């Protein structure tokens, strides 16, 4: 794992980290989900492989939901306590800036509801959803900043990026001043 980049928004510390989200020792991992919560490929598939199929079973029992919403399950065998499934797309597997913003905000609301101290996010919507890294980073950070203005939980948000180009895009977005 490389050195994280960080910034503070209100009481929330945001870290951009290059690594594997399934190995993060945080209160909750966020799954980039579809609205029915089946976990096939991408981040969802990695979480299911590392944490166990019970994560998918629990999530699917809570779906379907409207895209942009989030639900929470156990994290199975993962180091985290919870898995927050952020529905960043519907069955068409398409996403957009608004869905990424809402899914991020919904996942953060779940973390606040559970009074979690730390949560790790992947780059929502950029895998199966095919959304651009720079645009996704902007939408996600906008949601984090909005959440941090009115919430004390989570105290730490990790944006955990698996590839160098994702790490670079999120690091660049974190370093940009507010528009």
CATH number, domain 26-155: 3.40.220.10
Question: What are the pLDDT digits (tens) for 74-108?
Answer: 999 999 999 999 999 998 989 999 999 999 999 99
Domain boundaries, the chain: 26-155
Poorest-pLDDT segment among 37-41, 76-80, 104-108, 139-143: 37-41
Q: What is the pLDDT of residue 72?
A: 98
CA distances from 124 to 116, 150, 152, 166 (A): 20, 22, 23, 11
pTM for the full predicted model: 0.95
16 pairs with which residues across the strands? 5, 159
Contact yes or no for 103/70 (Cβ under 8 A): yes
pLDDT digits (tens, 9 = 90+) for 126-137: 998 999 999 999
- Helix spans in 94-150 (H): 97-113, 133-150
């Amino acid at each position: 794992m490389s050195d994280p980049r960080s910034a503070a928004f209100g009481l929330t510390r945001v870290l951009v980290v290059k690594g594997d989200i399934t190995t993060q020792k945080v209160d909750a991992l966020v799954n980039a989900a579809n609205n029915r919560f089946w976990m096939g490929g991408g981040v969802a598939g990695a979480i299911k492989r590392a944490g166990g199929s019970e994560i998918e079973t629990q999530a699917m029992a809570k779906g379907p939901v409207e895209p942009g919403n989030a639900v929470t399950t156990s994290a199975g065998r993962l180091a985290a306590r919870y898995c927050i499934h952020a529905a960043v797309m519907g069955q068409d597997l398409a996403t957009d800036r608004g869905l990424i913003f809402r899914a991020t905000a919904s996942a953060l609301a779940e973390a606040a509801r559970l009074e979690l101290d730390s949560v790790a996010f992947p780059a929502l919507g950029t895998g199966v959803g095919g959304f651009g890294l720079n645009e996704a980073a902007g939408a996600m950070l906008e949601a984090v900043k909005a959440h941090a203005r009115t919430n004390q939980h989570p105290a730490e948000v990790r944006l955990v990026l698996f590839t160098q180009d994702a790490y670079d895009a999120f690091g660049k977005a974190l370093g940009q001043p507010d528009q």
